[in-house]
């Protein structure tokens, strides 16, 4: 390879490595602090590496608060939200991309408009409605506001638009109902889009602190970000070692899940962007 090509590639690689290091620095610091004893965390001298490893921070993270319960609550909430989002988004996206009916473009335009409205705008009306139904402080309150995902409908619609209509026509000739076509043909073909959407959905709702703070006050229903707040003591302040250990434990499932789904995630995003 000529020097004229090696130098630009090397510079590009170095810039990418520097950018990746800059992005990873907060996570690296999180892990290092979670392994430091208290005297080093609050030391006036900044030390990047701990002089001794304090594994007890991870033990205390599970002992001082019910972190296992918070993780289970997070799993229940994100799994429930993802299940209903898929259940609603896939048939809606199929209808918008493969069926012809009056108002189809208007409905798709409304979905695009919904993408521009942040959830925070509707949070208070939703909370008041749930309070009237006596659903505050329940798993239902944490799941129901998110079951209809405009982004999910948009992403699946873009993917289904690329599938030849002849495939679905052949399925109809074979006697399949529209529901069977959606779940036995369209959805399996859309697994890359489903994987990409799952990463977005799980990450957003696993990390969400805003809505759990509003919808719940019972510690038994706390999701992982809500549960980490309980490490704060009004008199002693933040217990930084266990708090950082808990934050590392809460972050780990997302990192592992993304690494497992990385290929499908990339394929889903690429496929969804090819056709409007």
pLDDT at position 163, please? 86
CATH of the domain at 251: 1.10.3720.10
The answer to whether position 230 is within a domain reads yes
* Planar angle of CA 255, 154, 80, nearest 5 degrees: 50
CB atoms within 10 A of CB 234: 5
pLDDT at position 78, please? 96
159 and 271 in contact (C-beta within 8 Å)?
Answer: yes
pLDDT at position 235, please? 43
The answer to whether position 6 is within a domain reads no
The answer to whether position 203 is within a domain reads yes
Helix H or strand E encompassing 151: helix 150-160
pLDDT at position 208, please? 93
The answer to whether position 126 is within a domain reads yes
* Planar angle of CA 180, 196, 206, nearest 5 degrees: 110
150 and 114 in contact (C-beta within 8 Å)?
Answer: yes
The answer to whether position 253 is within a domain reads yes
pLDDT at position 236, please? 45
pTM: 0.86
**Each residue's pLDDT tens digit in the chain (276 positions)?**
556 677 778 888 889 898 888 888 888 888 888 888 877 777 777 777 777 888 888 988 888 888 999 999 999 999 999 999 999 999 999 999 988 888 889 999 999 999 998 898 889 999 999 999 999 999 999 999 999 999 999 999 988 988 888 888 898 888 889 999 999 999 998 888 898 899 899 999 999 999 999 999 888 999 999 888 887 654 445 678 888 889 899 998 888 888 887 777 676 666 655 444
Q: What's the longest Cα–Cα distance across the chain?
A: 75
For 155, 190, 199, the CA distances from 195, given in Å and listed in that order, are: 11, 9, 6
The answer to whether position 18 is within a domain reads no
The answer to whether position 94 is within a domain reads yes
The total number of structural domains that make up the chain: 1
Helix H or strand E encompassing 237: strand 237-238
pLDDT at position 76, please? 96
Helix H or strand E encompassing 38: helix 38-41
The answer to whether position 208 is within a domain reads yes
**3-class DSSP state of 204:** helix
pLDDT at position 271, please? 60
Query: Which of 78, 26, 46, 36 has the alpha carbon at shortest distance from 245?
Result: 36
Range of the domain at 232: 64-272
HEC-encoded secondary structure of 219-260: HHHCCHHHHHHHHEECCCEECHHHHHHHHHHHHHHHHHHHHH
pLDDT at position 210, please? 93
105 and 168 in contact (C-beta within 8 Å)?
Answer: no
């Amino acid at each position: 390879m000529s020097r004229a090509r090696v130098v630009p590639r090397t510079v590009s690689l170095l810039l990418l490595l520097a950018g990746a290091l800059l992005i990873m620095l907060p996570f690296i610091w999180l892990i290092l602090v979670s392994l430091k004893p208290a005297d080093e965390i609050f030391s006036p001298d900044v030390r990047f590496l701990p002089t001794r490893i304090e594994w007890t921070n991870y033990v205390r993270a599970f002992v001082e608060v019910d972190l296992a319960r918070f993780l289970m609550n997070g799993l229940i909430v994100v799994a429930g939200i993802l299940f209903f989002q898929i259940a609603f988004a896939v048939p809606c996206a199929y209808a918008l991309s493969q069926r012809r009916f009056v108002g189809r473009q208007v409905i798709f335009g409304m979905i695009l408009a919904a993408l521009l409205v942040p959830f925070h705008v509707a949070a208070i009306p939703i909370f008041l409605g749930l309070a009237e139904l006596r659903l505050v402080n329940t798993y239902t309150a944490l799941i129901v506001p998110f079951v209809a995902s405009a982004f999910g409908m948009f992403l699946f619609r873009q993917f289904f638009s690329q599938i030849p209509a002849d495939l679905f026509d052949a399925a109809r000739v074979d006697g399949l109902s529209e529901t069977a076509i959606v779940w036995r043909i369209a959805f399996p073909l859309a697994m890359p889009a489903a994987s990409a959407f799952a990463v977005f959905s799980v990450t957003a709702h696993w990390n969400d602190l805003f809505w759990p703070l509003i919808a719940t006050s019972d510690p038994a229903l706390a999701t992982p970000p809500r549960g980490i707040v309980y490490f704060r003591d009004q008199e002693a302040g933040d217990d930084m070692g266990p708090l950082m250990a808990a934050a590392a434990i809460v972050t780990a499932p997302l990192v592992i899940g993304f690494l497992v789904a990385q290929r499908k995630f990339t394929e889903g995003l690429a496929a969804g962007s090819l056709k409007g």
